Structure 1
Amino acid sequence: MSTTDRIRYGNLSAPGMKGLGGLPLPVFGAALLALVITLFLMVLAEWWIGLIAGVVCAALLAPAAIRVRDDRTLYGRAGLAVAGAHARRTGTNRLVAGPAGRTPDGTFRLPGIAAQSEVKDYETAFGLPFAIVAIPSTDHYSVVLEVHPTGNDVVDQEVIDGQVAQWGAWLTLLGQEDDIVGAAATVETSVDSGLRLRRSVLTPVHDGASDFGKAVAGVVSGGFGAKMPAISTRIVLTFTGKSDGKSRPRREMVEEIANRLPELMDGLASTGAGSHVRPSTSQDLTDYVRAAYDPSVAADIELARAGGGTGLSWTDAGPAFHQVEFDHYLHDRACSMVWTLGGVPRGVFYDTSLKRLLSPDKGVARKRVTLLYRPIPAARTSSMVDRKERNATMVSGAGRTNRSGNTAAARAAQQTADEEAAGAGLTLFGMIVTATVVNSGDDLSRATREDLRAARQMIRSQSAKARLKLRVALNSSDSAFVAGLPLGIVLPEHTRIPASVTDGLL
């Protein structure tokens, strides 16, 4: 099948409505208010008083409209700089945990927005064990599913197109569930220790086998697997315990999740997630998070899991040391750079657009790509789509600049309305990309700086090929790092302005 015959995906648009000139609606509304105040003062007071008021209002509003690097406003960029300087001056960007640290209970809890998280094991109605990650501050309960995608190297294009369609249908199904507030798909590449291959080769060797057979098995197991890339994929579902403004008891939430989980897992069978979908247990999540914060212990953790288990608890999963810098994040014996999606991707996409970004890379101990989804409830999609369409039509008809862009936005809004009327769902999405390299000390060594520079160039190149606008998480890489882990953290629920307020502007 040629490239022109393949299915293309697109019609992505930024959330929120715009005013004239492409200004965000709140900024446009403030500009109108400033204009009214200026005219009011000119008419009822002296003209020069109104002129001064207009100049002051323009000076205050301009930084909210002017975009600088990474599509951030001047206010946004200045706010990041001020917050980072304050954190470094007060020492809040640095954490030392454990018995000799600053944590009150002397444990190694996850830092920041995940500090209150709890993990416990439960069972479904069919006796299948699963773990729930609970965050009391947001009343969220998350389930992590381990999947094993088949890939698309030897799969017919028609099958791949069907899998993509089924994935979209599965996300649409989540929007029909009022208590599902988030989903995520995490693909992580790391360096394999080779332990699993050695065990799979040596375990079937019979005790009475010949010396030659044992020698061959030993050579094979010792020569393959080590230093090879390992790929793991996890899907997270996040439920809310709030219903009609009230919190439901945890026991009730656990019972409901246990009853619905098997059906949600069955829905992944035709999406390319593979035939083996397994919920993660608390021990699985603890070991995974511990290795994410300190990749140097990953081989030891894998060896312990192959034996009797690591014995780590959730309060042991966090870093013993972390320090947030302007554009990177030091944690234990590693250093990470984190990127977030900084704008609407341009152009059309194919099913292979993210293939290079998801592939392993040399020099990076761990690379993690997390796609974040927030399904819009089906009861709200119609009103949101209608508002978006009316706003796009108004801007395209009244705007005198960027006519082609406004017209394209109006066509996209019309297409979205048509697809929603045909039964399609509406989903907000984002992306977090994390590249982790090994670091030997509390400060960056020269080799680590070179690895970080190479990782930055690599991610920039890969995101450009995928037509993605990624920007570095400045002075907030610790929060972005933990949000990129498959723990079900819904970032808008952890902001000062809750998502219930900001979503009303969509």
Structure 2
Amino acid sequence: MSTTTRIRYGNLTAPGMQGLFGIPLPLFLASLAALVITLFLFVLAEWWVGLLAGVVCAVLMAPAAIRVRHGRTLYQRLGLGLAGRRARASGANRLVAGPAGRTADGTFRLPGIAAQSEVSDHLTAFGLPFAVVRIPSTDHYSVVLEAHPTGNDVVDQQVVDSQVAQWAAWLTLLGQEDGIVGASVTVETSVDSGLRLRRSVLTPVHDEASEFGKAVAGEVAGGFGASMPAISTRVTITFSGKVEGKSRPKAAVVEDIANRLPELMDGLGATGAGSHVRPSTSQDLTDYVRTAYDPSVAADIERARAGEGTGLSWHDAGPAFHEVAFDHYLHDRAVSMVWTLGGLPRGTFYDTSLKQMLSPDKRVARKRVTLLYRPIPASRTSSVVDRRERNATMVSTTGRTKRGANTAAARASQQTADEEAAGAGLVLFGMVVTATALNSSGDLSRATAEDLKGARQMITSQSAKARLRLRVALNSSDSAFVAGLPLGIVLPEHTRVPASLTDGLI
């Protein structure tokens, strides 16, 4: 009798270099510089001048070392509160769009970091239509693929393990491809209106069928599919329009994407994404984003798509109203709470760890889980691994605190180096979880506690079972909401500190 051992996944490390005493390397170097300045003033100036300089440096650096809830430093927490109060005082947290709104062109553009986004339709090398989402501020071009995974309920464990390995190989391929700066997987669950299922039942009924047959089909379709869960999965690939720091013409970038997209789509076949992976068109993305901001129109959009189409343009996809509160986000006739990954998952996990997180739940109108990936180019993986291994070895041999954790980090860095030498890639990853409920109060200025209570309890419970450390996106729900949509938003590229600088500290 043979037994199968389930594969456990782990060996995840947080980005950034570590100094002694468990503090980040930049803060450790700043502390050394402050110590040198203090000693310098002690020797060349009065003793009280050096003492005063040391106290001032300690007061300034202490908030950067003290961690509060969800791993945020005091500076980060104070910055979030200050930014939120400033936005609410100036009205920048509230947007009224449309002809009667405050937008310059009178349209319903996407808010925030996606306001400049553009969508255009093109054809692949094999004549397959696909849409490209362009973000001019970062010169990024994104393609969205619709996948139809079958799940793993009736799949052998060996097949599941093979699919996980193929997914890892596909992510490694992204790091080997030139110009790919990001990827994401978005799994959205909602309550199906039943229109598609009823239409599939009634469509085969011929006009010449008997009255009894028509009555039976109508009765079955009348109660078939209502309140059933609907699950959609989308894979987004983001390309950079720059080569060696110089922007290329849009036509050249799109042509490159059109030639490379079929191979990338074929690579998803063995990952469990399903046998029918197709690119989304601009109309597909427009209708999807419109429904995300106002789930109450989902049935109307689905009904229109079954007929002559919605006729919506990209400038009609955004909300007519939105307001960013401290811990939630009001948009049109809905309210959302957004969580982001606030730390490394605790311990090891299995291929089913996210199953409940990805499952539908009737307590919210829509739940969207987006896994964000930033593959490190293959040309940099060796230097990154070597630098992290040297840092972990230095900390484990010289540090006198947290010896167990430091030794474990050194072993993990050694394992990472061995796997990278064997051909594995390195990927930065994150997660955005969005729970959207309909605003039952009818008051667009605030959300009732009942609208958010179910979402908060649901995500808190499911994240604890998945051993995930999620934290609420405070005063930034609109940006996190957009990042959770399959639009290819690479958040580090939209920060004031450029990603090219922060990536150098990995």
Q: Is TM more than 0.5 here?
A: yes
- Once the two structures are TM-superposed, the CA of residue 48 in structure 1 deviates from its matched residue by 2.2
- Once the two structures are TM-superposed, the CA of residue 203 in structure 1 deviates from its matched residue by 0.2
What is residue 497 of structure 2 aligned with on the other side? 497
What is residue 111 of structure 2 aligned with on the other side? 111
What is residue 9 of structure 1 aligned with on the other side? 9
1:382-418 C-alpha deviation (Å, 9 max, x unpaired): 0000000000111111111111111111111110001
Superposed CA RMSD = 1.2
Cα separation, 2, equivalents of 1:51 and 1:115: 51
Q: Which runs of 5+ in 1 are unaligned?
A: none
Cα separation, 2, equivalents of 1:441 and 1:97: 18
What is residue 99 of structure 2 aligned with on the other side? 99
Cα separation, 2, equivalents of 1:136 and 1:471: 30
What is residue 486 of structure 1 aligned with on the other side? 486
What is residue 470 of structure 1 aligned with on the other side? 470
Shifted more, 42-51 versus 189-198: the winner is 42-51
- Once the two structures are TM-superposed, the CA of residue 451 in structure 1 deviates from its matched residue by 3.0
Aligned: 1:59 with 2:59: yes
TM alignment of 1:187-202, pairs within 5 A: 187-202=187-202
Q: Give the secondary-structure state (helix, strand or coil) at the position aligned to 1:5.
A: coil
Asked if structure 1 preserves the Cα contact closer than 8 Å seen for 2:190 and 2:360, the reply is yes
Count of residues in correspondence between the two structures: 504
Q: Give the secondary-structure state (helix, strand or coil) at the position aligned to 1:304.
A: helix
Q: Give the secondary-structure state (helix, strand or coil) at the position aligned to 1:270.
A: helix
Cα separation, 1, equivalents of 2:454 and 2:406: 38
1:268-305 C-alpha deviation (Å, 9 max, x unpaired): 00000000001000000000000000000000000000
Q: Give the secondary-structure state (helix, strand or coil) at the position aligned to 1:231.
A: strand
1:152-207 C-alpha deviation (Å, 9 max, x unpaired): 00000000000000000000000001200000000000110100001100000111
Q: Which amino acid aligns with 2:86?
A: H
Aligned: 1:352 with 2:352: yes
What is residue 420 of structure 1 aligned with on the other side? 420
The structure-2 alpha-carbon separation of the partners of 1:3 and 1:341, relative to structure 1 and needing over 3 Å to count, comes to farther
Q: Percent identity?
A: 81
The structure-2 alpha-carbon separation of the partners of 1:12 and 1:2, relative to structure 1 and needing over 3 Å to count, comes to farther
Shifted more, 457-466 versus 69-78: the winner is 457-466
Q: Give the secondary-structure state (helix, strand or coil) at the position aligned to 2:270.
A: coil
What is residue 395 of structure 2 aligned with on the other side? 395
What is residue 211 of structure 2 aligned with on the other side? 211
Asked if structure 1 preserves the Cα contact closer than 8 Å seen for 2:8 and 2:348, the reply is yes
What is residue 443 of structure 1 aligned with on the other side? 445
TM alignment of 1:33-52, pairs within 5 A: 33-52=33-52
Asked if structure 2 preserves the Cα contact closer than 8 Å seen for 1:100 and 1:106, the reply is yes
What is residue 329 of structure 2 aligned with on the other side? 329
1:208-263 C-alpha deviation (Å, 9 max, x unpaired): 11111111111111112111110000000000000011101100011110111111
Q: Which amino acid aligns with 1:392?
A: A
Aligned: 1:121 with 2:121: yes
1:446-486 C-alpha deviation (Å, 9 max, x unpaired): 3xx22312211111111111111100000000000001000
Q: Give the secondary-structure state (helix, strand or coil) at the position aligned to 1:311.
A: coil
Q: Give the secondary-structure state (helix, strand or coil) at the position aligned to 1:121.
A: strand
Cα separation, 2, equivalents of 1:2 and 1:256: 49
Q: Which amino acid aligns with 1:55?
A: V
Q: Which amino acid aligns with 1:62?
A: A
The structure-2 alpha-carbon separation of the partners of 1:363 and 1:195, relative to structure 1 and needing over 3 Å to count, comes to same
Q: Which amino acid aligns with 1:499?
A: A
Cα separation, 2, equivalents of 1:432 and 1:460: 14
- Once the two structures are TM-superposed, the CA of residue 4 in structure 1 deviates from its matched residue by 8.1
TM-score by length of 2: 0.98
Q: Which amino acid aligns with 2:444?
A: D
TM alignment of 1:23-422, pairs within 5 A: 23-422=23-422
The structure-2 alpha-carbon separation of the partners of 1:255 and 1:433, relative to structure 1 and needing over 3 Å to count, comes to same
Q: Give the secondary-structure state (helix, strand or coil) at the position aligned to 1:252.
A: helix
1:95-126 C-alpha deviation (Å, 9 max, x unpaired): 00000001010000000000000001001121
Asked if structure 1 preserves the Cα contact closer than 8 Å seen for 2:335 and 2:447, the reply is no
Cα separation, 1, equivalents of 2:243 and 2:492: 18
Q: Which runs of 5+ in 2 are unaligned?
A: none
Asked if structure 2 preserves the Cα contact closer than 8 Å seen for 1:363 and 1:451, the reply is no
Asked if structure 2 preserves the Cα contact closer than 8 Å seen for 1:192 and 1:229, the reply is yes
Cα separation, 2, equivalents of 1:57 and 1:2: 63
Asked if structure 2 preserves the Cα contact closer than 8 Å seen for 1:193 and 1:227, the reply is yes
Q: Which amino acid aligns with 2:101?
A: G
Cα separation, 2, equivalents of 1:178 and 1:264: 13
Cα separation, 2, equivalents of 1:281 and 1:415: 42
- Once the two structures are TM-superposed, the CA of residue 445 in structure 1 deviates from its matched residue by 4.7
Asked if structure 2 preserves the Cα contact closer than 8 Å seen for 1:338 and 1:432, the reply is yes
- Once the two structures are TM-superposed, the CA of residue 443 in structure 1 deviates from its matched residue by 2.8
Shifted more, 219-228 versus 437-446: the winner is 437-446
Q: Give the secondary-structure state (helix, strand or coil) at the position aligned to 1:379.
A: helix
Q: Which amino acid aligns with 2:200?
A: S
The structure-2 alpha-carbon separation of the partners of 1:286 and 1:342, relative to structure 1 and needing over 3 Å to count, comes to same
